[in-house]
Structure 1
Amino acid sequence: MPVINFTYKDLNEILGREIPKEELINMLPMIGSDIEDYGDEELKVEFFPNRPDHYSVEGIARTLKGFLDIDGGMPEYSTSPSGMSMTVDPELENIRPYTVCCVVEDIEITEEKLRQLMDFQEDLHWVLGRDRKKVAIGIHNLDVLKPPFFYKAADPDKESFVALEMTEKMTLREILNSHKKGVKYARLLQKFDKYPLIVDSEGNVLSMPPIINGDLTKLSQDTKNVLIDVTGTDERAVNNALNIIATSFAEVGGKIKTVDVIYEDHKVQTPDLTPKEIYVSVKNAERLIGEDLTASDVVKMLRRVRLDAKAEDEDKIHVLVPAYRIDILHEVDVIENIAIGYGFRKIGSELPDIATIANENKANAFENKVREIMIGMGFNEFMSLMLTNEEHHYEYMGLPEDERVMVAQPISQDRTMIRKSLLNGLMEFLEDNKHEELPQKIFEIGDVVYLDGNAETYTKVVKKLAGAVVHSSANFTEIKSIADALVVNLGLKMEIEPVDHPSFISGRCASIRGIHNKELDEKNLSEISANGSITGFFGEVNPKVITNFELEYPVVAFEVEFKSN
Structure 2
Amino acid sequence: MPVINFKYDELYKQLGKTLDNDELINILPMISSDVENYTDEEVKVEFFPNRPDYYSLEGIVRSLKGYLEIETGMPKYDVIKTENTMTVDEELENIRPYVATCMVKNVEITEEELVNIMEFQEHLHWVIGRDRKKVAIGIHDLDKVEAPFYYKAGNPKQDKFIPLDSTEELTLDEILEEHDKGKKYSKLLEDKEFYPLIVDAKGNIMSMPPIINSDLTKLTTQTKNLFIDVTGTDINAVTNALNIIASNMAEHEGAKIETMVVKYPYNDDIEYPQFDPQVIDVHTSLASEYIGIDLTAEKIVKTLEKTRFDAQIIDEETVRVTVPRYRIDILHEVDIIENIALGYGFNDLPAELPEFSTIANPDPKREFDKILEQVMIGLGFTEIKSLMLTSEEQHYTKLGHEIEPRRVTVAQPITQDRTMIRQSLVNSLLEFLQDNKHEELPQKIFEIGDVAYLDDDAEVKMRTVKKMAGAQISSNANLTTIKSYMESVVSNLGFKMILEDYDDSVFIMGRSAKFTVEAFDEKTPFTLEGYFGEVNPQVLTNFDLEYPTILFEITFIEK
* TM > 0.5 fold call: yes
Contact 2:99–2:229 (CA under 8 A) maintained in structure 1: yes
Match runs of 1:370-385 below 5 Å: 377=382, 379-384=384-389
TM-score, normalised relative to structure 1: 0.81
CA distance in 1 between counterparts of 2:224 and 2:194 reads 33
Q: How many residues align?
A: 534
CA RMSD between the two structures: 4.5
What SS does the corresponding residue of 2:365 show, helix, strand or coil? helix
CA distance in 2 between counterparts of 1:438 and 1:315 reads 59
Contact 1:75–1:306 (CA under 8 A) maintained in structure 2: yes
Q: Give the equivalent residue in structure 2 for 1:523.
A: none
Q: Displacement, 1:68?
A: 0.7
Q: Displacement, 1:37?
A: 1.0
What SS does the corresponding residue of 2:259 show, helix, strand or coil? strand
Indicate how the Cα distance of structure 1 residues 10 and 443 shifts in structure 2: closer, same or farther if over 3 A, else same.
Answer: farther
What SS does the corresponding residue of 1:82 show, helix, strand or coil? coil
Q: Displacement, 1:475?
A: 13
Indicate how the Cα distance of structure 1 residues 486 and 41 shifts in structure 2: closer, same or farther if over 3 A, else same.
Answer: farther
Indicate how the Cα distance of structure 1 residues 439 and 228 shifts in structure 2: closer, same or farther if over 3 A, else same.
Answer: farther
Q: Displacement, 1:214?
A: 0.6
What SS does the corresponding residue of 1:36 show, helix, strand or coil? strand
Indicate how the Cα distance of structure 1 residues 280 and 490 shifts in structure 2: closer, same or farther if over 3 A, else same.
Answer: farther
Q: 1:535 aligns with which of 529, 540, 555?
A: 529
Q: Give the equivalent residue in structure 2 for 1:335.
A: 337
Contact 1:33–1:45 (CA under 8 A) maintained in structure 2: yes
Kindly provide the amino acid, as one letter, of the partner of residue 562 in structure 1: F
What SS does the corresponding residue of 1:463 show, helix, strand or coil? strand
Moved more, 500-509 or 204-213: 500-509
Q: Give the equivalent residue in structure 2 for 1:521.
A: none
Indicate how the Cα distance of structure 1 residues 175 and 307 shifts in structure 2: closer, same or farther if over 3 A, else same.
Answer: same
Contact 2:425–2:447 (CA under 8 A) maintained in structure 1: no
CA distance in 1 between counterparts of 2:354 and 2:555 reads 37
Q: 2:290 aligns with which of 288, 291, 301?
A: 288
Q: Give the equivalent residue in structure 1 for 2:314.
A: 312
- Aligned-residue identity in percent: 45
Q: Give the equivalent residue in structure 2 for 1:35.
A: 35
Q: Give the equivalent residue in structure 2 for 1:345.
A: 347
- Segments of structure 1 that go 5 or more residues without pairing to the other structure are 519-527
CA distance in 1 between counterparts of 2:56 and 2:279 reads 25
Contact 1:278–1:320 (CA under 8 A) maintained in structure 2: yes
Contact 1:162–1:168 (CA under 8 A) maintained in structure 2: yes
Indicate how the Cα distance of structure 1 residues 85 and 285 shifts in structure 2: closer, same or farther if over 3 A, else same.
Answer: same
Indicate how the Cα distance of structure 1 residues 112 and 458 shifts in structure 2: closer, same or farther if over 3 A, else same.
Answer: closer
Q: Deviations over 1:17-41 (max 9, x none)?
A: 0011111111111212111111111
Q: Displacement, 1:309?
A: 1.2
Indicate how the Cα distance of structure 1 residues 439 and 483 shifts in structure 2: closer, same or farther if over 3 A, else same.
Answer: farther
Contact 2:209–2:231 (CA under 8 A) maintained in structure 1: yes
Q: Displacement, 1:148?
A: 1.2
Q: Displacement, 1:344?
A: 2.0
Q: Displacement, 1:511?
A: 3.0
Indicate how the Cα distance of structure 1 residues 92 and 312 shifts in structure 2: closer, same or farther if over 3 A, else same.
Answer: same
Q: Displacement, 1:125?
A: 0.5
CA distance in 2 between counterparts of 1:69 and 1:557 reads 59
1:76 and 2:65 correspond:
no
What SS does the corresponding residue of 2:85 show, helix, strand or coil? strand
Indicate how the Cα distance of structure 1 residues 481 and 312 shifts in structure 2: closer, same or farther if over 3 A, else same.
Answer: farther
Contact 1:533–1:564 (CA under 8 A) maintained in structure 2: yes
1:488 and 2:489 correspond:
yes
Q: Displacement, 1:76?
A: 1.2
Kindly provide the amino acid, as one letter, of the partner of residue 264 in structure 1: P
CA distance in 2 between counterparts of 1:214 and 1:442 reads 49
CA distance in 2 between counterparts of 1:275 and 1:483 reads 66
Moved more, 279-288 or 54-63: 279-288
Moved more, 12-21 or 354-363: 354-363
Indicate how the Cα distance of structure 1 residues 538 and 116 shifts in structure 2: closer, same or farther if over 3 A, else same.
Answer: farther
CA distance in 1 between counterparts of 2:303 and 2:403 reads 51
Moved more, 329-338 or 349-358: 349-358
Match runs of 1:67-466 below 5 Å: 67-253=67-253, 254-265=255-266, 266-367=268-369, 377=382, 379-384=384-389, 398=402, 422-423=422-423, 445-446=449-450, 448=452, 451=455, 461-465=463-467
Contact 2:500–2:515 (CA under 8 A) maintained in structure 1: yes
Q: Displacement, 1:78?
A: 2.4
Q: Deviations over 1:420-457 (max 9, x none)?
A: 97238997x99xx99x967699967236366487x9x7
What SS does the corresponding residue of 1:139 show, helix, strand or coil? strand
